[in-house]
Amino acid sequence: MSAREREVLEAVERLRRLRPKLKDELITLAHGAGGRASRVLVEALFLEELGNPVLAELEDAARIDGLALTTDSYVVKPLFFPGGDIGELAVNGTINDLAVSGARPLCLCAGFVIEEGFPIADLRRIAASMGEAARAAGVPVVAGDTKVVERGHGDGVYVTTTGIGVIDEGVELSPANVQVGDRILVSGPMGDHGVAIMIARGALELEVELESDTAPLHALVGDLLASCEGVRWLRDPTRGGLATVLNELALATELAVVLDEGAIPVRPEVTGACEILGIDPLYVANEGKLVAVVAREHAEEALEALRADRVARDAAIVGEVQPDPPGLVVLETSFGGRRIVDMLVGDPLPRIC
Amino acid sequence: MSAREREVLEAVERLRRLRPKLKDELITLAHGAGGRASRVLVEALFLEELGNPVLAELEDAARIDGLALTTDSYVVKPLFFPGGDIGELAVNGTINDLAVSGARPLCLCAGFVIEEGFPIADLRRIAASMGEAARAAGVPVVAGDTKVVERGHGDGVYVTTTGIGVIDEGVELSPANVQVGDRILVSGPMGDHGVAIMIARGALELEVELESDTAPLHALVGDLLASCEGVRWLRDPTRGGLATVLNELALATELAVVLDEGAIPVRPEVTGACEILGIDPLYVANEGKLVAVVAREHAEEALEALRADRVARDAAIVGEVQPDPPGLVVLETSFGGRRIVDMLVGDPLPRIC
């Protein structure tokens, strides 16, 4: 069997997985990791029970009556980490889900589940950080709720933020727009957030200076859309990293995403930490990075537009959309080989966001 | 000192508490109970750090650009109880926060924090119950998120739902509309939900047949507003019960709310259970009941409009707004006495919603 035949067989197998069955009896951490198990849980349980056409699109934000809506629960551990904390993350992460849907964020709501015994000073620090991030982004937190659970039934604080945005006329970002030949861009180095969290947990026996990349992306997206035609689809590669969002793209389009390993920016500290942890940086979460699919003829223009913004000065073109193998992500390695980048299995980095 | 003088002194003390100071160092269950401690936490911490004019109104739903937004985290224990479960509660409770703001609910978002090891069958039951409640109410769940926390760091599942609604032209419900002489109506017996939860926890050594009253109220509110003028303000008396929402009204208006104890509908089972538990039914949560303040001349009309709906067939006029003592809720007891119904202190019924 040739490599090509094997790829096609794998693609068929992959497409079969499009209608997943939920065989597990108990929830595992993998169900929360954003990879295959999460997808199966969402499709075979939540979509089935809650199903409606808007939810079924499974985009980062739902679109209804010209509004974009998105909700995210944050359970990151530790609550405070180099470069940010759960409060800032809960503001920026939800703003970014709106931004990559092409929506202008209007406001946020926040629900807090707090554990009995949690220090008020820490809660204030988190709220202050949310307030600062919200003011910096120009997106106010307009509604909230606070619940308290008994000691031992939470983990300090969990925050759920919901974002409401407005989609301007003419903006339509969708996997349906993606065509063969389109280029894949990322706005900067991959994996900073996830590795910063692992370092904050003391999981690494080394001194690495690395901060979470948490940042709001709505201004970057606004500039990109205003200055550049041919932007097909955007995502922020959080849980499950670049590999996961591109797998979702490949599945939705039934096209192939071919990545050039050498072109993907990854900081040496992240590469090193991932080697020690035995994980692939492509699966590691980012919290201030954009993945953009742009028409070939506008790719350089988009790259310039991204690099003009401080948060994306290290943007790069990292791959392209090809017809084969359909539904798969393929990495062309620096050594001239090719390997399939599968969907995330298990959860190597639990509670990263 | 006469009873009247004492009341006035207490009122002054009460108004002083309007600018609360947060003296606690650690979160306690009382901070989540919806009473005084919750209010202090919200005003002295969240408002201060997240502050903006919309949040500062502290209504059940925020109003921005013609939209009503509300968010609620549900941590009810047990997850399944007579008359409902956390899924149904999370749908109806959030719909009701929109409804009492005079908004037509448009859609919901839901964030799930699930504990590792939670049975998938139970999660499906919860999602099915949400789906059923959402379809029954005609309010779809259009966006969601799922996170998993390690065994021992959650409690089965916590659900945060956010509701988005549309406020029709001309509808304006606000404490600012409330006037001396207005009547206070409730849509049915008080305290069913809270006592049903206590029974489900096995906290009572008696066999009581009682179900949670969880129900969506948007149709009831729509009918009331369509058929009756003079509706000033609505609330759903959840955490902290009738006493808490009326205290909030008295504080916001700087008027007195005078209740007629004999007119307040409470099921004998609830009265009995509350006596055993040593709590007052006026502080017990409801999840399908409405409190309405209506102009005196329209009160009977409003009562009829409520009673025409099955969920409010036991509606009653239970009190009125008076000028004195300002900022206080006073109960005229069945024995001809008067007592002040203070804000909830502590948390006699934790994790009720």
pLDDT at res. B4: 61
Q: Which of B90-94, B203-207, B311-315 has the lowest mean pLDDT?
A: B203-207
Interval B114-128 mean pLDDT: 97
B78 touches chain A (CB under 8 A): no
A1 touches chain B (CB under 8 A): no
Q: Which residues of B touch A74 (CB under 8 A)?
A: 147
pLDDT at res. B17: 53
pLDDT at res. B104: 96
DSSP state of B343: P
Closest to B221 (Cα-Cα) out of B329, B351, B68 = B68
B69 touches chain A (CB under 8 A): yes
* ∠ CA B248-B252-B254, rounded to 5°: 110
Residue A294 main-chain phi, psi, to 5 deg: -130, 145
Strands A103-115 and A84-85: unpaired
Q: How many residues does chain A have?
A: 353
Q: Which residues of B touch A145 (CB under 8 A)?
A: 71-73, 160
Which member of A27, A120, A162 has the closest CB to residue B22? A120
Give the model confidence (pLDDT) of B45-82 as tens digits.
999 999 888 888 878 889 888 899 999 999 999 999 99
Identity of the amino acid at B170: G
B23 touches chain A (CB under 8 A): no
Per-window interface: B 244-283 vs A, CB < 8 A: none
Beta bridge partners of B103: B167
Q: Rounded to whole angstroms, how far apart are CA atoms B280 and A67?
A: 43
Q: Rounded to whole angstroms, how far apart are CA atoms A314 and B147?
A: 31
Q: Do B162 and A71 touch (CB under 8 A)?
A: yes
| pLDDT class of B1 with cuts at 50, 70, 90 | low
pLDDT at res. A303: 98
Counting residues of chain B whose pLDDT is more than 90, the rounded percentage is 79
Q: Which of B36, B96, B120, B126 should we substitute to test contact with A (largest number of A Cβ atoms within 10 Å)?
A: B120
Give the model confidence (pLDDT) of B155-180 as tens digits.
999 999 999 999 988 888 999 999 99
pLDDT at res. A20: 67
- In this prediction, the answer to ipTM > 0.85 reads yes
Closest chain A residue by Cα to residue B53:
A142
Closest chain B residue by Cα to residue A25:
B120
Q: Which residues of B touch A240 (CB under 8 A)?
A: none
Which member of A38, A131, A147 has the closest CB to residue B32? A147
Q: Do A107 and B62 touch (CB under 8 A)?
A: yes
Q: Rounded to whole angstroms, how far apart are CA atoms B94 and B80?
A: 18
Interval B295-304 mean pLDDT: 98
B336 touches chain A (CB under 8 A): no
B21 touches chain A (CB under 8 A): no
Interval B229-234 mean pLDDT: 96
How many Cα neighbours within 13 Å face the side chain of B184?
30
Q: Which domains does chain B have, with CATH numbers?
A: 60-171 (3.30.1330.10), 175-340 (3.90.650.10)
A178 touches chain B (CB under 8 A): no
Asked whether residue B13 carries a pLDDT value surpassing 90, the answer given is no
Name B5's Cβ contacts closer than 8 Å, sequence gap at least 6. none
* Average pLDDT by stretches of 10, chain A with 353 residues: 63 56 91 91 92 82 90 97 97 97 96 97 97 97 95 96 93 94 98 94 81 97 96 96 96 96 97 92 97 98 97 98 96 93 88 93
Longest alpha-carbon distance in chain B: 63
Q: Do A148 and B123 touch (CB under 8 A)?
A: no
Name B155's Cβ contacts closer than 8 Å, sequence gap at least 6. A149, A153, A154, B75, B77, B115
Q: Is A119 helix (H, G, I), strand (E, B) or coil?
A: strand
Closest to A331 (Cα-Cα) out of A269, A292, A299, A283 = A283
Q: Which residues of A touch B110 (CB under 8 A)?
A: 50, 71
Q: Which residues of B touch A69 (CB under 8 A)?
A: 107, 109, 142-143, 162, 164
Whole-model pTM over 0.90: yes
The label of the residue with tokens 């008027």 reads: B255
pLDDT at res. B9: 60
Asked whether residue B84 carries a pLDDT value surpassing 90, the answer given is yes
Q: Do B118 and A26 touch (CB under 8 A)?
A: yes
How close is the nearest chain B Cα to the Cα of A122, in Å? 9
A45 touches chain B (CB under 8 A): yes
DSSP letter for each residue of B98-119: HHTTTEEEEEEEEEEEEETT-B
B174 touches chain A (CB under 8 A): no
Task: Please give the distance of CA A225 from its chain centroid, rounded to a whole number.
Answer: 19
Q: Which residues of A touch B151 (CB under 8 A)?
A: none
How close is the nearest chain B Cα to the Cα of A311, in Å? 25
**Beta strands in A200-288, from DSSP E residues, in sequence order:** 231-235, 256-260
Q: Which of B160, B201, B352, B353 should we substitute to test contact with A (largest number of A Cβ atoms within 10 Å)?
A: B160
Which member of B54, B64, B141 has the closest CB to residue A55? B141
Task: Please give the distance of CA B115 from its chain centroid, rounded to a whole number.
Answer: 27
Q: Rounded to whole angstroms, how far apart are CA atoms B238 and B28?
A: 19
Give the model confidence (pLDDT) of B244-280 as tens digits.
999 999 999 999 999 999 999 999 999 999 999 899 9
Interval B300-321 mean pLDDT: 98
pLDDT at res. A8: 57
Q: Do B110 and A71 touch (CB under 8 A)?
A: yes
Cα A78 to Cα A82, A93, A110, A147, A276, distances in angstroms: 10, 17, 19, 20, 20
Residue A5 main-chain phi, psi, to 5 deg: -60, -40
